[in-house]
Structure 1
Amino acid sequence: MIELIGSLVILVGAVFLFSAGLGLLRMPDAYTRIQAGTKASTLGNMLVLVGLAFYHPGWTFKLILIVYFVLMTNPISSHALSRAAHRIRIPMAGSTIVDTLAEDERRE
């Protein structure tokens, strides 16, 4: 039963990782691609690692450390990439209504 639960959790994680890849292909601009890739891949990686913990209980502490590392680095790196893209003026999609970062920079 434990292996079945682990397999299901890994499968759900793989679906999220697939959706992250699909989001990179389908989104209209760099900012939404970064967003889609980061959110889905963070959750997908975490689920795969939790599924591995079901398979190998002795690895649980190491896998928790890796989950923590993924939770800390993925959002920070996506934020840095988005800021860099904004600073070099990569255009946003036409459907983007508000650019709050540009508004904040104008106020300063």
Structure 2
Amino acid sequence: MTPALHTARDIASAVLLLLGALSCLLGAVGLLRLPDLLGRLQAATKPQTLGLLLVLAGTALRVELESAVTLVLVAFFQVITAPVISQLAGRSAYRSGGVRRDLLVVDQLAGKLPRDGSS
């Protein structure tokens, strides 16, 4: 590998790692600053997933091909599981009364999903 290509790869890797870390930091700040559960779920899922994907991409540029394939699998499972877990946590909070329905702009679950303890 030529020195110029090696330097370009190092710079691209560093940029991806820094952007991923910044995205994760913004997600953590959102967890602390957002006032309600649904906002916190949003902050916990989207920026954290994007941040992890950027960190994995930056790391994949620095490792051997076999390890990069493993990182792709990690990214795939993160993208598949994070939204599902967030949706389940939100639905559970909705059913248990942890979500203030009067603050919702659109309540698509009203009438479809009863709260716990109701029929």
TM-score by length of 2: 0.81
Bigger RCO of structures 1 and 2 (CA < 8 A, at least 6 apart): 1
Provide the C-alpha distance between the structure 2 equivalents of 1:93 and 1:87, rounded to a whole number of angstroms. Answer: 11
Q: Deviations over 1:22-77 (max 9, x none)?
A: 11011110111001210000100000000000111331100000000100110010
Question: Given the alignment of the two structures, is residue 35 of structure 1 paired with residue 47 of structure 2, yes or no?
Answer: no
Q: Which runs of 5+ in 2 are unaligned?
A: 1-7, 115-119
Q: Which runs of 5+ in 1 are unaligned?
A: none
Provide the C-alpha distance between the structure 2 equivalents of 1:22 and 1:11, rounded to a whole number of angstroms. Answer: 16
Change (3 A) 1:62 1:89: same
Higher helix fraction: Structure 1 or Structure 2?
Answer: 1
**Percent sequence identity over matched residues?**
33
Aligned residues: 106
> Which has more radius of gyration?
2
Provide the C-alpha distance between the structure 2 equivalents of 1:84 and 1:104, rounded to a whole number of angstroms. Answer: 14
Out of 68, 71, 76, the residue aligned to residue 60 of structure 1 is 68
* Dislocated runs of 4+, deviation >6 Å: none
Let me know the Cα RMSD of the aligned residues. 1.7
Out of 51, 56, 60, the residue aligned to residue 44 of structure 1 is 51
